[in-house]
Structure 1
């Protein structure tokens, strides 16, 4: 899209004669194949060919008979042309959507929304009849003849205010929060005919909002909600040729088998299964440790009373769990969950006095080198305990502290240099944790999603305690011999 003043555009409407008269999938397919040019991949620069599986998707959204759905969900693995098809449909909706049609390309943020919007604008530029009738701007495209408009929009309630879309294409809907999806839904439905079409690869966990929508559609089918899912059998191996074909309808057309094979060899299995085989995997491709790695370090051992330990404390206010973990101070440390409080079991609040007493008891039962804790929300309690001469050490969860500590415990698990007491909560919290790498926070643990009920507090406490326990275990003890220093 060129910057600056726009050249005059013709107000003559696009000639749509010869297209099927009824505004269903057959008319859309005919429009796309007549006016849209493929912008990327195999066939780029050539007329857009609508393949049979894409025709099936469009048939579910724009049926030839019966009432058209108001909402649609298409889950399909990466590389099967979902964004290109979405862009082509957006172009059709702009030119054949009637007077003052409003087409939205929606995504988690403006950058992502601009992907489908940019592809649609490029399709318009590549066809002279479309380009001659459209004013293209960085933030919208306008079909002059009907004053119809196409916009890229982030999925935020304030950004969606004032829109009345005839079509909203929601790209990579799995990354949207429930509130964001509901905001998009709430912006539509004001016209006699409108559609919110969510297209995405499967989400990263089975507690995602899209997973709930999919399950509900299976249990309570709705005529106003069209669902198309391309997936495969999770019980089969990742190189199963049947699964490759079932999940990837574009395979052998514009998705190349050697490219898929190369991705299988380089990607983590969980990632490959989700992104390439369309499977809802338990956990995330960013899992901190795999179940078999953790289970190999579990023993029946319990830490003996009086043992030298570092206590790790991770306290919550009302949402997460509050935990106390002990890690032995020795060359091969052992981790044990001493106590856990779940707000649901305590009326939604953490019993602060009970937690403080449990910390006092732990310091009485063991030879505690340090009691490490993030002071957030627990500053008062930690000050009280420190005033009682308990060895409280603040461990703020900053990048400088948490990144090396997180990496060190994971390395110890993989190399067999740590063990864990058998405990279902400790195991669950460890396997719930995923790892994120960001410029501002570095490598650190997080929940699979902000609203996930899968807690990670016990392993966060273990990371802090393990870091300090290994420090003390490996600290060089003074020999008592005098030494002289010479600087060179």
Structure 2
């Protein structure tokens, strides 16, 4: 006879399915019905020890994107606040940024506001959910703010732990977790997709769980559940996709979504975010030579008088300067060319020659705009503005370059870019490496330190030429700050 571990999981499942509704998304306001794999996590995580207390005081749950992490952890957070029976419950919902913290906390608020039962039990505020007619609250924390509440939390939830990637963010995690450990039945719940640095908070939690699973470490109070591909798994194998994305089974995360993501993401990004697989290194080549070669068309022509967009990547000395320009046809395919300048005497660029080239482009084509990084181009931008050319300020920050790099990759991967095979342009495009940040990936010179200016200029131009912004046929000439 098999004896099942004693657990309060059934109580948790009844609370979530009986009281909680879905937040933003396709199932907004509908009752939260848990899948079997979600119930299994709950039953296991809420097992009791021989003394009738929690068996696990800390949990690490790893799931690929799209599998309902936020909804699941939001339901657990509300149970800890309203259903666990803890005296004076205090639930901290933490993430590296306010935006990330609000994904879970905002879902908890929506569940409370849209549920006819929970709505009568709590009052919701911008940063807090307070229990009516009693003590208890849930509150939001952004670790990047650099502070952590000193209260003794009965539950601390950490979303996307891979973003806790420096010593200050890790300290916030430590303070909150340490406060929670002071409560008799407190629990720390970590949930995340995989990271890229095993020498990090997230990496240490992951390796801790793997050591426990392998039987190499005694860690009785640590719960570990990881849905992810193995190093030997083929990232193209859809059976692996189904295995590590449990939401596919009931079709609320359709496999067609993953097929689209596989086509539009670099392989290692797909492995990390959608197979929950550690990539372990920060830099990867952003596209293959085969992908770039498949976009080559030596007979490509630019049409005089056609709408043309320009991106420019410029330094004043010791580096090349590239002007990459493009025209989009009726099928959304962008013809791309790049002109590259090298430093001359004393390693300075001939700025006037570069300015003259852009003015020439404006005479041959209908030049809509020039996107530039203002760091080294204030004088040139003003000169071109005075010549009647529309200038668009495009700072090369993470927030601008990360989505722009993703857009460029997707266009090249889907043959929405054509070029004439210029060898120097090709070398600069293929020399660009992929650098992962806590916000996503962007281009960098990588370890080779080869020039990549025309690649950066192309990314900027492709972002602007595909931007869903209505264009005035007769725009005022101006420097536009995006």
**Which residue in the other structure is 1:200 paired with?**
192
Q: What is the Cα deviation at residue 121 of structure 1?
A: 1.3
> Residue 111 in 1 paired to residue 99 in 2?
yes
**Which residue in the other structure is 2:257 paired with?**
259
Secondary structure at the counterpart of residue 212 of structure 1? helix
Secondary structure at the counterpart of residue 225 of structure 2? strand
User: Among residues 184, 190, 212, which one is paired with 2:182 in the alignment?
Assistant: 190
Q: Write the distance in 1 (CA, Å) between the matches of 2:57 and 2:93.
A: 16
Deviations 1:238-264 (CA, angstroms, capped at 9, x unpaired):
331221111101113121122222222
**Which residue in the other structure is 1:3 paired with?**
none
**Which residue in the other structure is 1:138 paired with?**
126
**Which residue in the other structure is 1:268 paired with?**
266
Q: How does 1:468-483 map to 2 (within 5 A)?
A: none
The more displaced of 262-271 and 164-173 is 262-271
Q: What is the Cα deviation at residue 41 of structure 1?
A: 4.5
Aligned residues of 1:288 and 1:435 also touching (Cα < 8 A): no
**Which residue in the other structure is 1:246 paired with?**
243
Q: What is the Cα deviation at residue 206 of structure 1?
A: 4.6
Aligned residues of 1:202 and 1:278 also touching (Cα < 8 A): yes
Q: Report the CA distance shift for 1:170/1:444 in structure 2 as closer, same or farther (over 3 A).
A: closer
Question: Structure 2 length normalisation: TM-score?
Answer: 0.59
Secondary structure at the counterpart of residue 270 of structure 1? helix
> Residue 230 in 1 paired to residue 211 in 2?
no
**Which residue in the other structure is 2:138 paired with?**
150
Q: What is the Cα deviation at residue 399 of structure 1?
A: 6.0
Aligned residues of 1:71 and 1:224 also touching (Cα < 8 A): yes
Q: Report the CA distance shift for 1:444/1:244 in structure 2 as closer, same or farther (over 3 A).
A: closer
> Residue 83 in 1 paired to residue 90 in 2?
no
Q: How does 1:400-411 map to 2 (within 5 A)?
A: 400=377
User: Among residues 38, 47, 52, which one is paired with 1:63 in the alignment?
Assistant: 47
Q: Write the distance in 1 (CA, Å) between the matches of 2:118 and 2:426.
A: 66
Aligned residues of 1:166 and 1:191 also touching (Cα < 8 A): yes
**Which residue in the other structure is 2:35 paired with?**
51
Root-mean-square deviation over aligned CA pairs: 4.5
- Larger Rg, first or second structure (1 or 2): 1
Q: Write the distance in 2 (CA, Å) between the matches of 1:72 and 1:399.
A: 48
Q: What is the Cα deviation at residue 217 of structure 1?
A: 3.1
Q: What is the Cα deviation at residue 122 of structure 1?
A: 1.3
User: Among residues 106, 125, 129, which one is paired with 2:113 in the alignment?
Assistant: 125
Aligned residues of 1:206 and 1:281 also touching (Cα < 8 A): no
Q: Write the distance in 1 (CA, Å) between the matches of 2:438 and 2:186.
A: 38
Q: Write the distance in 1 (CA, Å) between the matches of 2:439 and 2:127.
A: 31
Secondary structure at the counterpart of residue 117 of structure 2? helix
Q: Report the CA distance shift for 1:257/1:462 in structure 2 as closer, same or farther (over 3 A).
A: closer
Q: What is the Cα deviation at residue 457 of structure 1?
A: 7.2
**Which residue in the other structure is 1:169 paired with?**
157
Structure 2: unaligned runs, 5 residues or longer:
1-5, 294-316, 320-338, 349-372, 379-393, 406-416, 457-482
Question: Structure 1 length normalisation: TM-score?
Answer: 0.58
**Which residue in the other structure is 1:353 paired with?**
none
Aligned residues of 2:7 and 2:43 also touching (Cα < 8 A): no
Q: Report the CA distance shift for 1:190/1:256 in structure 2 as closer, same or farther (over 3 A).
A: same
Q: Write the distance in 2 (CA, Å) between the matches of 1:75 and 1:463.
A: 36
The more displaced of 269-278 and 86-95 is 269-278
Q: Write the distance in 2 (CA, Å) between the matches of 1:416 and 1:205.
A: 35
- After TM superposition, where is structure 1 displaced by more than 6 Å over at least 4 residues in a row? 291-294, 331-334, 401-404, 435-438
**Which residue in the other structure is 1:213 paired with?**
205
Aligned residues of 1:113 and 1:154 also touching (Cα < 8 A): yes
Q: How does 1:95-110 map to 2 (within 5 A)?
A: 95-97=82-84, 98-110=86-98
Q: How does 1:288-307 map to 2 (within 5 A)?
A: 289-290=286-287
Structure 1: unaligned runs, 5 residues or longer:
1-21, 297-309, 313-330, 335-366, 373-395, 421-426, 447-454, 468-488
Q: Write the distance in 2 (CA, Å) between the matches of 1:24 and 1:178.
A: 36
Aligned residues of 2:266 and 2:286 also touching (Cα < 8 A): no
Q: What is the Cα deviation at residue 192 of structure 1?
A: 0.9
